[in-house]
Structure 1
């Protein structure tokens, strides 16, 4: 018989044994299918992530309506005036727009069939639910419009995104935040990842997927001891050793194929439930989770192939004879040398890229992926040797300890397999944490904002009524709950040496003496004074432009745009002041004018600013401030000051890591529980025998705990060593100094240990049910 036909026959026979071999075979196949299915489901979710991200970006690009253009297009029946009125509610970003169509052919944003009228608003489904809830009371006051419809999925990047579109009829387009547009969407290409962010992305995917692969490899080996007895019986009826191994591979293949079906079903359920789940404020639509066909086919082929390969590899040193399997005897010592080759090869692949950083092009993706994989696979190769080496040297103690040690000495490989996944996950997490912490400073910048002087900034957009609106906002905020201090407002405009397109220009700040002291160090001040504020960085015009008696033109025209160009003569008693950073960290010099000295000319557009301190002990203090600002004017915006800020791409990557790590931890917990239950099922008769001879249940329970605790402790120790080594290499590759956040290392190690302890506790009820003498009954 040809080799291919022999393989097909024997694999087919193994599949038949798995599905027709009675209750024991079905239980083993079901356990394998569940373990493999959990891994397959997560793999399918992972293969769908690129399509989900692409769909989110495409919808975000399609609805782009803010162009930051300084010159709006001319008004036609096809134009639309749009104002950005984004807001924040309980730290959740809310996308808000005011829309004012200027004709019947004005473009419609995606997900909208008709524009809301003034006083009406369209909301996303998630925002609609929030507005109806008790928690949304303050937000209802802020939006202050009748909900008349829902924004469709095409206009949202995620199922839980908070968005509202409000009708308006008073908008005057000039520049951001009020613009005139002719269409939605943008043709601008998305920003490419820099090399270090690309490195982070690659490592995140590898670290999240490696535990999945390890658990699938573990799942196909469930029920090994009972399977070996069946293989011995098969040898007794004439099968040779190769045939027996191929039959065993066929049984694993059956479980893997059934696991593919289970995994596809779990993925289909998870896909439908995805629309109602928000993880770390990241949500997707079910239709976006569409696995790439090539990647899905790879999973469908790789999982059964891995099941066959892992089974044959596991049986390579097992002697299957007609009268038994030589596995119950003391196994030969595991060799260390080849197990060290894997992590050393991984380090060898990563070493050429050490010091590359952001300055020497992209990292070689294949070398990075292969290097990280080999290092993490090294954990799975070294752990069985470490467990065997350690337990062989453990001696006497309590009865429970001796029972556990003896069991580990007889089946150290099985114990190591149970914790391989958690060890790989912790090692990868430590390396990632080191890498994120090491490069974080490069993607976290100081904003320069002084949170000791103010907590929030209120910005009034340029208009002829800015001064009145700013004064109104000051009065409103002074009586707002949770506000402890309001700085007097100041307004700003430009001044130049010509009526249009001046050669030299300077900022003009108008405000009371108290307001001007927020932006300059004044020698003395009374209403009617004018100051030249000097010392601002990159300001070369003020010193040359500001001279006593010189005529300036306030609000000059630029590029033919609007502007009053009001002539104003600097007073002869012009005072000098030194520029000071405002709470936002801006240093803007120029001319400082108190209200009595400012010319009484209407129509000049000015930008207004004032700052607020809040009492953080008052619940919803910031929401009260935002509501007061919205009641002052729909375009009045509120900004929360912060000492530092992370770049969006880095923050998104970290959010994706947390979301993926949560899924992997869930998989780890469930798979460990399934594996633990399978191990207990195989030991049921042994446990019953010990109970029948008088062993206390407490002793057996403690024994099971030690059988789990010892491999876990060794696995976590190994994962810390490998994780620190991998993290150090990755930091060197990124061109950063090697630092270790020991608190994070201890925390992640504790999380890994906590998952195992939780699984152990959950397995106690079935363990207690199995510890009965009647478990010895058989047919």
Structure 2
């Protein structure tokens, strides 16, 4: 029977060939997306693993007692808001460990740079960036040490005395443990819990619609195949033989599509690597497949096609007389809404009752989100049925009535092809609503605000003795574009703000707030801004008064130097001067850069959410298109008879369009709305913020994705004219 099934599949005439090509093409597209998803997950892990060496400061003691130690210091520098990883080393013997990507440790006055930083150094005036790095470039850091092609990294050689003075740490080996597996304080990269959460969410959101698409493709033209199988039963074929023939047909198409899908993935891999899923692009080699991935997809998709075909035949009892007996499925019940309601009630309950521990908050909110998402998937058929009945009840034209009745008779089938959208749109809406609201309340300030234009270098007691006024570079005031240079002194009152500034100085500066009425000295943050950057307009922010005389302020140790600028060039030149003058401790930074760094991490998750949505919407459109094409093939005779009775072709097109548009738009609206509602409940419970409406770009992305999906569906409608002519009714 297997050989007979192959002959039927490969020699079944034009109709059989078209069906085979369409199924194989659909499976190829689905497999390509599936492989891209798996490779993307592997790429995130590979990129994270290359952060390992940057955590060398927390490496465990070496198992080799003969290894020579070395001094190691890593700090974060910035240029135009971009983070620069600065590693400074000094070997204490010839057998000191060497970081990946470089042939040997640089000596004093030498450094290696990443390709991206090397290009930046060549294209940037030395006074703005290059003068911060002592010595000369002796080579390029190789790919093994670079998380991304755009990583900005530098390894600088120093003397042991220099690094000892700078507060470096002695290490005996380079950290090789990935941050996702590091349990002893790794601070660069994504930890295990964060990695698991990110990969789980992405996998569920992308794999679900892809697998639905593949399952839909393998069931293409099921009714036509069942009619052929009924004819075989009439001439004596057993149900088991029919199952074997069906499995052979599905396997051939799925196997061809799987092979083509692998080719599609490898053809597009280089382009996929440039997409910054995590905020930074990947190397092409990062988008790799493990042996388990290859076997799972290469064997699992054809096997899944066989199972889908078998399940489809189980729903139809084919009699020896060639009659396909079908039973209208029972309508879904309202109990499917229970998990959805329980999830929303749980998120509502924690408003004003936020758990006190991180684990408690994760358990409370994550379980609520999962309940809402599960409830959406479970309630989808019921919602589709309600929408279809509303369409039929308000129908004023035959097309709407027919489409509404067909959808309400089998809402599960109507919902199945778009159910992948539930996961994608819900996750995207939650992420977008939460991130938009957080950034609006606590994100980076405006680029023209003083929080973004002023630079602060702080001198904390744990980093060494504070400098004197004479040690502050006099050249700061000579830089074109520097508006002011302010010295903030340390506040002896431990219960107030850290710094002191006279009210006369605040009045002169004008942009850093003001004193209370009658005060002569103000307590201020070390950067003259603090955590309330959005409140610091030119004249409205009022600092607390300090109980100290103005004459005593200059006698206190210096806490920080704050430089306000009018241009990015002046900003970076001032930073370079401060880095060279005060190499100890943390490098100068603006509040805007601190906030931008936090916002950048949030935007990485937003980027993932956008990728999920932009990938899922076209996949849903393809699933609908395959479903529509299969439905048209299955209903050739009924549609042909309707045309013979006088029904116009445009009416039939409206029927098909409404049967696809109603579930698609209903799912998109409900999933997006409930995603925003869940985000609002979470924000109120955790942060006390009301939901802020997302930017117009979000709605344009959703609308554009839906338009693409509908366009894909519309491309199948011309088939109606070709397959519903009078000859179809006559030949059938």
Does the TM-score normalized on the shorter chain lie above 0.5? Answer: yes
Paired residues, number: 674
Counterpart residue number, 1:236:
234
Which one of the candidate residues 92, 95, 98 is aligned to 1:108?
A: 98
Counterpart residue number, 2:150:
160
Q: Does 1:215 align with 2:213?
A: yes
Query: Cα offset for 1:196?
Result: 11
Counterpart residue number, 1:142:
129
Counterpart residue number, 2:15:
24
Aligned 8 A contact 1:456 1:612 in 2: yes
Aligned 8 A contact 1:29 1:255 in 2: yes
Counterpart residue number, 2:396:
396
Query: Cα offset for 1:336?
Result: 1.7
Change (3 A) 1:290 1:81: closer
Which one of the candidate residues 446, 456, 459 is aligned to 2:457?
A: 459
Q: Distance in 2 between matches of 1:665 and 1:174?
A: 51
Query: Cα offset for 1:653?
Result: 7.0
Q: Distance in 1 between matches of 2:688 and 2:211?
A: 29
Q: Distance in 1 between matches of 2:443 and 2:675?
A: 28
Counterpart residue number, 2:250:
252
Query: Cα offset for 1:285?
Result: 3.8
Query: Cα offset for 1:610?
Result: 1.6
Q: Distance in 2 between matches of 1:290 and 1:316?
A: 38
Query: Cα offset for 1:689?
Result: 10
Change (3 A) 1:350 1:717: closer
* Matching of residues 215-614 of structure 1 within 5 Å: 215-240=213-238, 244=242, 247-269=245-267, 273-279=271-277, 281-289=279-287, 303-304=301-302, 306-321=304-319, 326=324, 332=328, 334-337=330-333, 340=334, 344=338, 357=355, 359=357, 363=363, 371=371, 374-382=374-382, 385-386=385-386, 388-393=388-393, 395-397=395-397, 415-431=414-430, 452=450, 455-459=453-457, 467=469, 470-477=472-479, 479-480=480-481, 485-490=483-488, 514=505, 577=521, 579-582=523-526, 583-585=528-530, 608-614=560-566
Change (3 A) 1:272 1:670: same
Counterpart residue number, 1:626:
572
Query: Cα offset for 1:218?
Result: 2.3
5+ residue gaps, structure 1: 1-8, 69-75, 496-505, 526-532, 534-575, 600-604, 615-620
Q: Distance in 2 between matches of 1:318 and 1:514?
A: 86
Which one of the candidate residues 647, 668, 676 is aligned to 2:625?
A: 676
| Bigger strand fraction | 1
Deviates more, 1:416-425 or 1:190-199: 190-199
Aligned 8 A contact 2:329 2:409 in 1: no
Change (3 A) 1:181 1:591: farther
Deviations 1:256-307 (A, max 9, x none): 4444444444444555555444335233344545556667666666645544
Change (3 A) 1:247 1:414: farther
Deviations 1:497-552 (A, max 9, x none): xxxxxxxxx99989997389989999999xxxxxxx9xxxxxxxxxxxxxxxxxxx
Aligned 8 A contact 1:252 1:307 in 2: yes
Query: Cα offset for 1:151?
Result: 0.8
Aligned 8 A contact 1:415 1:707 in 2: yes
Which one of the candidate residues 655, 661, 667 is aligned to 1:715?
A: 667
Change (3 A) 1:437 1:226: same
| Bigger helix fraction | 2
* Matching of residues 182-221 of structure 1 within 5 Å: 182-183=171-172, 185=174, 188-190=184-186, 205-221=203-219
Change (3 A) 1:744 1:632: closer
Counterpart residue number, 1:60:
51
Change (3 A) 1:611 1:743: same
Change (3 A) 1:404 1:363: closer
Aligned 8 A contact 1:510 1:592 in 2: no
Aligned 8 A contact 2:385 2:408 in 1: no
Change (3 A) 1:351 1:585: closer
RMSD: 5.9
Query: Cα offset for 1:622?
Result: 2.7
Q: Distance in 2 between matches of 1:15 and 1:380?
A: 38
Change (3 A) 1:263 1:126: farther
Change (3 A) 1:465 1:442: closer
5+ residue gaps, structure 2: 60-66, 176-181, 532-543
Counterpart residue number, 1:561:
none
Q: Distance in 1 between matches of 2:385 and 2:243?
A: 24
Query: Cα offset for 1:669?
Result: 0.6
Tell me the secondary structure at the aligned position of residue 418 of structure 2.
Answer: helix
Q: Distance in 1 between matches of 2:448 and 2:699?
A: 37
Deviations 1:190-238 (A, max 9, x none): 4898999987875565444433333333232223343333333333332
Q: Distance in 1 between matches of 2:621 and 2:516?
A: 72
Q: Distance in 1 between matches of 2:328 and 2:603?
A: 45
Counterpart residue number, 2:708:
758
Q: Distance in 2 between matches of 1:240 and 1:748?
A: 55
Q: Distance in 2 between matches of 1:20 and 1:384?
A: 40
Q: Distance in 1 between matches of 2:451 and 2:434?
A: 34
Q: Distance in 2 between matches of 1:510 and 1:351?
A: 50
TM-score, scaled to structure 2: 0.70
Deviations 1:417-471 (A, max 9, x none): 4433334432443455567679x59996999x99557732242777898745634
Which one of the candidate residues 78, 92, 101 is aligned to 1:87?
A: 78
Aligned 8 A contact 2:56 2:171 in 1: no
Change (3 A) 1:588 1:108: farther
Change (3 A) 1:486 1:61: same
Change (3 A) 1:149 1:77: same
Change (3 A) 1:725 1:115: closer
Counterpart residue number, 2:178:
none
Query: Cα offset for 1:335?
Result: 1.7
Tell me the secondary structure at the aligned position of residue 393 of structure 2.
Answer: coil
